[in-house]
Amino acid sequence: MYLIDYHIHSNNSFDSKETVSAVCEAAIEKGINEICFTEHFSVKEGIKSYGFLNLKKYSDEIKECKEIFKDKLTIRAGIEICEPHENEEELKLILENIPFDFILGSVHNFDYNIGLATYMSSHSKEESYSRYFEEVNKVCTSPYIDIVAHLDLMKRYAFNTHGNYDFNEYREKIEEVLKNIINAGKGIEVNTSTLRGMVNETMPSIDILKMYYDLGGEIITVGSDAHKAEDVGADIRESIEVLKNIGFKNIYRFKNRQAIPVEI
């Protein structure tokens, strides 16, 4: 099985201290064939990721590691953009000039800079989840993304106080999001980071993965969302098995923002 991990942060992200080379070494050790770095990136002034990513440092490190590990590991360079629908003009100008392989689109904030945890702490369970899926629906057709990251992320923040959500209560909202993703030629990911904590299921849940498959969705990646080398590749094999059991024939990798199927 060709193993990929398409959601990884290094110290090019504000919330990781791991070096690019340590991530590569960990991936090789764990038998991963291909990784993609997805560093936090934002053009929204005032939020944590704004102005952090040093593109010269990042591309130099990628280039160097591609050379060092060329016989053992395929390395791609990507970013994770939050709320790309809010700054389309600025993003267009920046992204035109940088040849990223892959771009994840995320909802990490509401109303420009209110973090999900902050919002959730002063809103009901219903308000928090409804609002979250409405915001994802705005992000999912952005031309500046390839894959919608961690599609039901709100549960990571809401789990302790509000609990997990009931898929059937949000079925219509979720279906709308998935149809829009498919029609826009975008995809979703299986993010395994919530298997390493209290929530104990992937993002999105198996219900959403099945719905995506039933609606005809094909483009899907798998990623650990590792911020430390030890988490690189976590639960990737198991997630591919889950996708296989649902009926998916391929997962996808990307080069120059083109989706390439990998048979599973």
Contact assessment for residue 140 and residue 189, using Cβ atoms and an 8 Å cutoff: no
CA distance 170 to 126: 9
Give 81's DSSP letter.
Answer: E
- Evaluate whether 236 touches 19 at the Cβ level (below 8 Å): no
By CB under 5 A, the residues from 207 to 226 that bind Zn ion are: 225
Report the residue closest to Zn ion, judged by CB.
Answer: 106
Residues 6+ apart with CB under 8 A from 256: 99, 101
The number of CA neighbours under 13 Å toward the Cβ of 160 is: 8
To Zn ion, the closest distance from the beta carbon of 244 in angstroms equals 24
Structure-token pair, residue 52 = 């952090």
Task: Write down the least CB distance from residue 67 to Zn ion, Å.
Answer: 26
Looking only at residues 42 through 81 of this chain, which bind Zn ion when binding is defined by CB under 5 A?
A: 80
Task: Name 5's bridge partners.
Answer: 35
CB closer to Zn ion out of 135 and 225: 225
**Contact call for residue 109 and Zn ion (CB under 5 A):** no
CB of 214 to Zn ion, least distance (A): 26
CB of 225 to Zn ion, least distance (A): 5
Token digits of residue 35: 């990784």
Residue among 68 and 195 whose Cβ is closer to Zn ion: 195
Smallest separation (angstroms) from Zn ion to the CB of 227: 8
Indicate whether 152 belongs to the interface with Zn ion (CB under 5 A): no
- Residue 68 or 115: the one with the smaller Cβ distance to Zn ion is 115
Kindly state the number of chain residues that form the binding site for Zn ion, as judged by CB under 5 A: 3
Nearer to Zn ion (CB atom), residue 169 or residue 188: 188
Q: Which of 10, 16, 49, 106 binds Zn ion (CB under 5 A)?
A: 106
Chain residues that interact with Zn ion, rule: CB under 5 A:
80, 106, 225
